Amino acid sequence: GTDLCYGGSENASCSCVCYDGLFIGERCTESVYRPTLSVEQFLGDVRVTVSLPIPQSLSTTTVDYLLMVYGSVTNTSVIIPGNAMQAPVNVSVANSPLMFMVEARFRIHEHDDNDFEFTASSEPVTLALFDCGPDMYGGYNDSSCQSCPMNSGNTRGYNDVIESCMCRPGYRGPNGGACTGFTDSSYVGEVYRYQPQHTKIVTVGYRPSSAVIGNPMASQTIVYFSDDIDEQFYLHSQTGDVLVDASDLTIGTYTFTVNANYSDSDGVMESSSVPVTVTVLPEFYFSGTEQDGNYLAYVSADAVVGTVLLTIMPQFTLLSDVVFNCSIEEQLDPPPVYITSNGQVRLIRSGIAFGVELFTVECPAQINSSSVVIETLRVNVTIVVYQLTDLIPANLAFNTTNGLITWTPPPISDGSNYGELLPLTSYCISIVVFNGDENNATLYNLSNPSVNNFTYQQSLIPRSTLRITVTAVSVRSINGSAVINASIGGDALEAPQAVNVRNGSSGELLISWQSPSSDDITGYSLRLSYNARRLRSIGSDFVEITQNVSPDVLSYNGFNQLPGNTSYSVVVVAVYSNGQRVPSSSFTYALPGYAPTEYPIFTEVEYIPPIMLRATWKNILFSNGEIFGNAIYYRFSTCCDHFTSQSRESVTISIENLRSRTSTNASISCTNPFGIGPESPPQIVFITGAPTNVAVEDITDTSACFTWSPPLNANPANYSVLINNDPVVTTVIGQTYCETEIAPDSEAHVIIVANYNSGAINFQSDQVMFHTVRAPRNFTASSPTNVSVLLQWMPPVPLNPMSLNPPNLVGYELNVTSLNPPTVTFGPYSIPLSNGNSTTFALFLQPGMDYSAILFAVYSNKARAQSQPANFTTTVTVPPNTFPSNLVLFSYNTTSTLAVFQWSAVEFSNGLVTGYKLYVGDSDGLFVAGADNTSVEYSIAVGTMNLTFGVAVINGAGEGVRTTRSISLSDHVSPGALRSMFLNLSSVRLFWDPPSLFVLDFMHSILNVSVGGTVVDTVMLNTNSYIYCGLSSSTEYSFQVIAVYPSVSFGSNIVPVQTVGPTCSQTCLNGGICSNFDTCTCFAPYVGDQCETAFCDPPCLFGGDCVGAPSVCDCTSTAGTNGGTDLCYGGSENASCSCVCYDGLFIGERCTESVYRPTLSVEQFLGDVRVT
């Protein structure tokens, strides 16, 4: 039942009993206790307070809270522990309302150790925030923002109080108050002296000012120290000391500048600096061996003069003006001579006796220009005077039977007058074993750390020679050595026999020998030496190479890549088990000289116009060991020639044949007196002076067109075209040329030459091969029909089989052109070779048309050669099936009765049109030859008024369909559609349509205008309007227009016109009369459409109304009120509404300008302005 009751437990009847009054409801789902939430803005934060009264009975209950913030930023949630009843929530959103809600999370500890958890949420609380931005405050209650006081600011946030404004770094004052600048004395630095045993690092103390500590503006602080020797010491924290490398500082006083840079959250940089003065004092010490506080010096009595060198070491580099005035406190006989220089004190003692001498050296250090002592050095000096013989071990001996080495201690070890100051530390034993070979001696360095042990056991090597050295080592590495030689007997050992050397492959020696009779050999050592003084990279004159091999090997060929033309010395050494080495006699062999076996590598090959190449390469010294001295050269190879150069790293050469190439391959090889080495891989070089991309197009049997690209980075004057090296043209402008005089079946090549400087320099392109072809033969056209023709031909003559690469005939192409206008070409049509040598062409042909056919032979190289044309005409078998359009009677002569008929041309109708046939009335027709003749003159019978005529088309097969028209002559020669329009009461405009037929006797014809049957005027025949004046009112008229020809006249329709008297739609006032339609004639002084307005002269001024004759003005009706007060400012108006100004006080049209005006003077007086 856990899911049954949310905040309680179920009883036996499965109903819920809620927990301790915490929950209510049927299933205990409603919480009695809900948290409450209060929210307020505080500076840049939002302060949230949560309240939840928990009853005492719930003491075992744990409560946490989840605070949720909703707004335009990403929603925020904060978990608040139960014992913290308020928590600040940082908010970084400007001008946005936020909603807060808290959720209380209860956890109740039940008796059965099972925890019960539930939640209860508060009501949401909304808070409107307003952000004034950085360095501003206010805006929480009244949304008004103000700037922070001078030299203060704040970070971005909801700063609602002036106390959020804090002083900037370098300024001091209360929050929100006045900020004043200051120098913070808490920036203090001190450079501490260091001791000699320490690293040259000084400690600079730094304490930040109050402007840094606790200032949220200082989100990032960098403090660094600078001085007058261009050093910068960076401090990476705001507090504490910093270690600074001061190894470059000298003694003296320095002023550092401590700089602090502060960057706030908005990236605004603030800075402050404080000067710090520090003093660096020198500290010196003596460099030497100290023992019990004394400076020990050891002087050998073998020297005539004993010298003690004391070195003064400063803490820092000494200033140039520091001097030492050293002195000896004890009175010595003879007194020492001391010399000081660069921190060194040299004490020169002569006549030193054996034994020990003690004295004290005191060296005050001071500035040369001052008597002030900076520091005084004091050191006790102990001089030990000894003889070298006192350090040599005595009685050194070697027992050749058992190998025991013995000796006795040197005299100094007996503890005499200075022995305790020069004690022995160890013995060093050195044994050199020759084993019969002085050049391969074995050295053993052995150490015997015990100064009380005077023996050493050495293993014996039969038939060997030893050199034994025993050295006594004392303090300060003052040593003495004893040396003896000893030999160990035995039978003589054999050397290798029959050594032989011969030449192998290039630079290789083959060495062989015979083994000695002894079986005690552990191996062989081969020594090869030669004179290498000619090798520049070898430091010494002679080179020696050693190679060890096993005892069962009696030949060796591992010496290879050796210089040629050189003598070699070979020695084979037998190595025995006892370590002895027995050499053979030296064998000398001379290698012959040979050619190099390696090649240099190009670093660059460059084309230099017009005919130069520059090559650079990495010089090599060896090739299988051969010598590259002054006798070694480099061989530079191109497409065209070889050049030998003594230059070791570069060469520039002139190659005339570059003019005929667009690219070349360059290689390089080494050469010496014995031959030429291999060539390097070729490197392509593009010659940019020549044309490129030469192509041959449109090849026929006698012509070809050539195209090319201009040279790269060059501008030739013109081009020449060479066919089979024969110039066919020499002044081509552009990159295209077609040659039309080439022999058929010619295999040729073309070269394009770029000409520079009027032909003084030219560059040839690569040649391009092409092959002209041959055309079809005996091409004919036969058996034409109305839509087809038979075409036949013979194939081209086969091309020359001796050509290198003749093209193949791959087919034919056919073009057919109509010769009748408009000329149209059909094709090309492909004809495969499988069709043979004939074809029936039946595409797009029309009956009765003239055509020309041309056949092209097509080859594999895209060449096309054309045959001679074959002309033919198709037949015509069907009469025309179309008739002419736009048939008209174009003109008519009323005197001679000759008429001209016209129609549109027909070029083709079931064949070419040969002419037309005109039919007029019942005539047999008139033939008009030619398809382009589309008009004809025909005589019509006198008195004919109604006319019928037609035209038919004629081709080679006969006459086609006829077109027919019928017209009335009188309708075409009479004026038509006469109509009228009144202009006013006494005039009218007449309109009509002029005669539609072009009358041939037009110049002898007129139009008469008739009014009531009487001709009143005559106009030209082509006129279409007329104005008649002088009409009387309320009268009836009739008008007609008559076309008068030399022999006949034709009249238009008659138009009646009825006139009326004038009327006005509105009554004319003030004695005006109606003189025309809606027109009143007025009498003075009235004007207007109805004579309704009076006119005053002179006119009323300033808005006064004219109220009638004679010129009476009403000045008050519109000009103003109260008798014209508003009309005249400084006067009164008269009868015409003009102004009379008061007493000369005012002037102007409306008395608005004052005659008397005050004057004003202004001056500054102390802090005031005085006005008079």
pLDDT tens for 722-740 read: 999 899 998 899 999 999 9
Task: Using the structure block, give the residue that is written with the tokens 């020809």.
Answer: 1045
C-beta contacts of 963-971 below 8 A and 24+ residues apart: 963/883, 963/884, 963/885, 963/887, 963/903, 964/919, 965/887, 965/888, 967/889, 969/892, 969/944, 969/945, 969/997, 970/945, 970/1050, 971/996
d(CA 4, CA 15): 9
1122 pLDDT higher than 50? no
Q: What is the mean pLDDT of residues 648-672?
A: 74
Mean pLDDT, the chain, rounded, equals 75
For the segment 823-838, what is each residue's pLDDT rounded down to a tens digit? 889 889 999 999 889 9
621 pLDDT higher than 70? no
Query: Which has the minimum average pLDDT: 212-226, 872-886, 940-954, 1106-1120?
Result: 212-226
Q: Residue 794 belongs to what H/E stretch?
A: strand 789-794
pLDDT category at 977 given cuts 50, 70, 90 is confident
Q: What is the mean pLDDT of residues 527-534?
A: 74
Amino acid letter, residue 398: F
Query: Which has the minimum average pLDDT: 51-60, 79-88, 181-190, 312-321?
Result: 181-190
Q: Look at residue 233 in the predicted model and tell me its pLDDT.
A: 46
d(CA 36, CA 123): 7
> 656 vs 303, which has greater pLDDT?
656
73 pLDDT higher than 50? no
Percent of the chain with pLDDT over 90: 13
pLDDT category at 911 given cuts 50, 70, 90 is confident
Q: How many residues does the chain have?
A: 1172
Nearest to 1104 by CA among 1131, 1132, 1136, 1148: 1136
Nearest to 1095 by CA among 1083, 1105, 1086: 1086
d(CA 450, CA 454): 9
Q: Cα torsion for 870, 875, 880, 885, to the nearest 10°? A: 10
For 899, half-sphere exposure in the C-beta direction (CA atoms, 13 angstrom radius) is 24
pLDDT category at 883 given cuts 50, 70, 90 is confident
Q: What is the mean pLDDT of residues 930-947?
A: 84
Query: Which has the minimum average pLDDT: 112-126, 185-199, 241-255?
Result: 185-199
Residue 153: strand, helix, or coil:
strand
1029 pLDDT higher than 70? yes
d(CA 145, CA 165): 13
553 pLDDT higher than 50? yes
378 token code pair: 């004091």
Q: What is the mean pLDDT of residues 887-895?
A: 78
Most confident of 293-302, 530-539, 541-550, 664-673: 541-550
Task: Using the structure block, give the residue that is written with the tokens 């650079």.
Answer: 616
Q: Look at residue 739 in the predicted model and tell me its pLDDT.
A: 94
pLDDT category at 538 given cuts 50, 70, 90 is very low
Q: Look at residue 634 in the predicted model and tell me its pLDDT.
A: 64
For the segment 355-377, what is each residue's pLDDT rounded down to a tens digit? 777 788 887 777 666 666 766 77
CA angle 829, 833, 835 (to 5 degrees): 75
> 118 vs 284, which has greater pLDDT?
118
For the segment 1094-1112, what is each residue's pLDDT rounded down to a tens digit? 877 777 777 777 776 566 7
- Neighbouring residues of 576: CB distance < 8 A, sequence distance ≥ 6: 435, 493, 518, 520, 521, 522, 582
- Neighbouring residues of 757: CB distance < 8 A, sequence distance ≥ 6: 717
- What does the buried/exposed string (b/e) look like for 392-428 if buried means 16 or more CB atoms within 10 Å of the residue's CB? bbeebebeeeebebebebbebbeeeebbebbebeebb
d(CA 777, CA 124): 106
Q: Look at residue 1077 in the predicted model and tell me its pLDDT.
A: 74
- Neighbouring residues of 513: CB distance < 8 A, sequence distance ≥ 6: 496, 497, 498, 499, 500, 524, 554, 555, 572, 584
Q: Look at residue 451 in the predicted model and tell me its pLDDT.
A: 75
1054 pLDDT higher than 80? yes
pLDDT category at 784 given cuts 50, 70, 90 is very high
Q: What is the mean pLDDT of residues 780-803?
A: 92
Q: CB-based burial of residue 217 (10 Å sphere; 0-12 exposed, 13-18 middle, 19+ buried)?
A: buried
Task: Using the structure block, give the residue that is written with the tokens 């594999």.
Answer: 860
Nearest to 240 by CA among 280, 198, 212: 212
CA angle 70, 76, 79 (to 5 degrees): 120
